[in-house]
A and B are shown apart, each in its own frame.
Chain A
């Protein structure tokens, strides 16, 4: 049902969205069947830019050939509630054009939990930090694949905003599992699994190790980027 939002100019109600059927029969003779089970691409080192936006406290753009992701951090800023909260409240909003809002909401609450474990919340009482993530170019249709990049950009955005964090966490994606690590891979602060079957403990542990490898790579990239920034500043 199309309930029109009258505050916005949405166009005629009867208009139907464009439907693009998949290119099927005619083209799959090459021997490469590009059917449903194309696995998401491997992790590639993204290009990083921070301090991109001037109207927020911290921002970071990550780009790879399949992805362009912008995270902007607003805060710590005062909350509207009258109650005194001794810890800062974090809110994450993700904007995307290919994923549904319910999926994005679930991912947001997962990210809030992860963030609360490494942001020094006690230092910002009665305040809120708003994290906005915009997926501008999204060529992979598997939401879990984006999580390592999203967390990386949020961490770099928090550093850019000058918000104190206890470590540089990161995460890795392997076989539909995402695991978030901190303290050099010795602590797990979040696990996300959306699709695929649960294959048993050993498989999961292997997958966890693969995620850890990716985490260590991400951490290396973040540290070298931050060091190069501080060298430039001097």
Chain B
């Protein structure tokens, strides 16, 4: 019988430079950084990225405000408010444009006072939310791909829409159009008279405009250089852009204010009111009126349990492997402003807070992805979000 020789296999540990380790095992790379007291982006645990904003520069009214500019406002620029926000390496460009829609709901005068009084009373209490509206956001995250919108884009758009609606920042009354009238005088000059100007009353009373219109606001949010979750950047950029919105003054030509036509359809005569052509003044505008105290800013936090085995300090003492760890308790850390592949993929527990300057929440979401979220950590994230909101609100001035 031949003796079996034992084959010994020597295993040499392989070590990787940090950049390679970050690609192969992002979780391990993150844990190693955390054990040293900072994150892969070299920020502290509770440190946010710096934000710089450029508000209103892309809008059509921006040139008009610059007295030295001799440019005419191009009729092609339909942007009413804008913001270019830069946070770290990520750029978010938000452009707000508008549309006009006819209001077909009944006005209060139409409701028969006696019969519907009770209904009115019932709805009064619950109708606060119906007094506010939202913008219609389309988020595009540029990642070098073409094709249909991704889950992230759809989810972020929906979150922005819902949060803005419930934050009660944009009252419906702010978007009501008060159209003026364009008159051609006998001498051929053209004048536009708006309801809020000095001598408008006699003029306006002779033109009865029976239809009501409102503006509709759309937001196009493009994210360049995405490195992590984008909701809070998009929300903050949207807030700044919304503040900069100027609503154009609209007018109807006098000939179209009360137009009735008789139309024959299938042997019956019907009287149709002609649809008006509501035009927007290229120069005149009014700043949008928002519920200022509800303007809020967003921040995101991640929670992760520290892995004692990845602790670099412990690695060096590993000579006697039998030594039990002194501290058995799992330590959970709070990381502010998640950024980077390692953090995004390893951190499953998140807190997102949207709050205003007084600390009132507009949106709070807590995803418990396995980390131990204690009340102390929650309180810390709320305190950090207050500071962050105060800092971001300061940039509005």
Q: Is the CB of A14 within 8 A of B101?
A: yes
Contact with A9, one of B89, B137, B277 (Cβ below 8 angstroms):
B137
Q: Is the CB of B144 within 8 A of A12?
A: no
Q: A53-B89, A98-B76 are contacts. A9–B157 as well, Cβ < 8 Å?
A: yes
Contact with B138, one of A8, A53, A130 (Cβ below 8 angstroms):
A8
Q: How far is the CA of A82 from the CA of B19 in the complex (A)?
A: 31
Q: How far is the CA of A138 from the CA of B95 in the complex (A)?
A: 13
User: Which residues B69-88 have CB closer than 8 A to chain A?
Assistant: 71-79
Q: Is the CB of B74 within 8 A of A141?
A: yes
Q: Is the CB of B157 within 8 A of A8?
A: yes
Q: Is the CB of B248 within 8 A of A18?
A: yes
Q: Is the CB of A53 within 8 A of B224?
A: yes
Q: Is the CB of B75 within 8 A of A18?
A: no
Query: B148 in the interface, Cβ–Cβ < 8 Å?
Result: yes
User: Which residues B215-249 have CB closer than 8 A to chain A?
Assistant: 216, 218, 222, 224-227, 248
Q: Is the CB of A16 within 8 A of B100?
A: yes
Query: A20 in the interface, Cβ–Cβ < 8 Å?
Result: yes
CB-CB under 8 A from B144, the residues of chain A are 55-56, 72, 74, 130, 132
Query: B195 in the interface, Cβ–Cβ < 8 Å?
Result: no
CB distance from A4 to the nearest CB of B (A): 11
Q: Is the CB of A23 within 8 A of B149?
A: no
Query: A136 in the interface, Cβ–Cβ < 8 Å?
Result: yes
Contact with B77, one of A8, A56, A74, A139 (Cβ below 8 angstroms):
A139
Q: Main SS of chain A's interface residues?
A: loop
Q: How far is the CA of A7 from the CA of B151 in the complex (A)?
A: 10
CB distance from A128 to the nearest CB of B (A): 10
Contact with B154, one of A7, A11, A52 (Cβ below 8 angstroms):
A7
CB distance from A125 to the nearest CB of B (A): 20
User: Which residues A110-140 have CB closer than 8 A to chain B?
Assistant: 130, 132, 134, 136-139
Q: How far is the CA of A25 from the CA of B100 in the complex (A)?
A: 26
CB-CB under 8 A from B154, the residues of chain A are 7-8
Contact with B190, one of A14, A25, A134 (Cβ below 8 angstroms):
A25
Q: Is the CB of A20 within 8 A of B75?
A: yes
CB-CB under 8 A from B189, the residues of chain A are 25-26
Which bracket fits the contact residues of B? 35 or more
CB distance from B75 to the nearest CB of A (A): 5
Q: How far is the CA of A8 from the CA of B190 in the complex (A)?
A: 41
Q: How far is the CA of A105 from the CA of B42 in the complex (A)?
A: 43
Q: Is the CB of A23 within 8 A of B93?
A: no
CB-CB under 8 A from A55, the residues of chain B are 142-144, 225-227
User: Which residues B44-67 have CB closer than 8 A to chain A?
Assistant: 58, 60
Per-residue contact bits, chain B 128-162, to A (CB 8 Å; 1 contact, 0 not)? 00000000111000111010110000100110010
CB-CB under 8 A from A39, the residues of chain B are none
Q: Is the CB of B224 within 8 A of A18?
A: no
CB-CB under 8 A from B281, the residues of chain A are 20
CB-CB under 8 A from A91, the residues of chain B are 146
Q: Is the CB of A9 within 8 A of B161?
A: yes
Query: B280 in the interface, Cβ–Cβ < 8 Å?
Result: yes
CB distance from A14 to the nearest CB of B (A): 6
Q: Is the CB of A21 within 8 A of B136?
A: no
CB distance from B160 to the nearest CB of A (A): 9
Q: How far is the CA of A7 from the CA of B60 in the complex (A)?
A: 29
Q: Is the CB of A9 within 8 A of B138?
A: yes
Query: A1 in the interface, Cβ–Cβ < 8 Å?
Result: no
Query: A22 in the interface, Cβ–Cβ < 8 Å?
Result: yes
Query: B321 in the interface, Cβ–Cβ < 8 Å?
Result: no
Query: A54 in the interface, Cβ–Cβ < 8 Å?
Result: yes
17 CB contacts below 8 A, A to B, read A11-B136, A12-B101, A14-B101, A17-B78, A17-B99, A18-B99, A18-B100, A21-B75, A21-B282, A26-B190, A53-B224, A53-B225, A55-B225, A55-B226, A55-B227, A97-B95, A130-B144
Given contacts A10-B136, A10-B218, 16 further A-B contacts (CB under 8 A): A8-B154, A11-B216, A12-B101, A14-B102, A15-B216, A17-B99, A20-B280, A26-B189, A70-B224, A72-B224, A130-B144, A132-B142, A132-B144, A134-B222, A136-B58, A137-B58
- The chain B residues found within 8 Å of chain A, CB to CB, are 58, 60, 71-79, 89, 91, 93, 95, 97-102, 136-138, 142-144, 146, 148-149, 154, 157-158, 161, 189-190, 216, 218, 222, 224-227, 248, 277-283
- The chain A residues found within 8 Å of chain B, CB to CB, are 7-12, 14-23, 25-26, 34, 52-56, 70, 72, 74, 91, 93, 97-98, 130, 132, 134, 136-139, 141
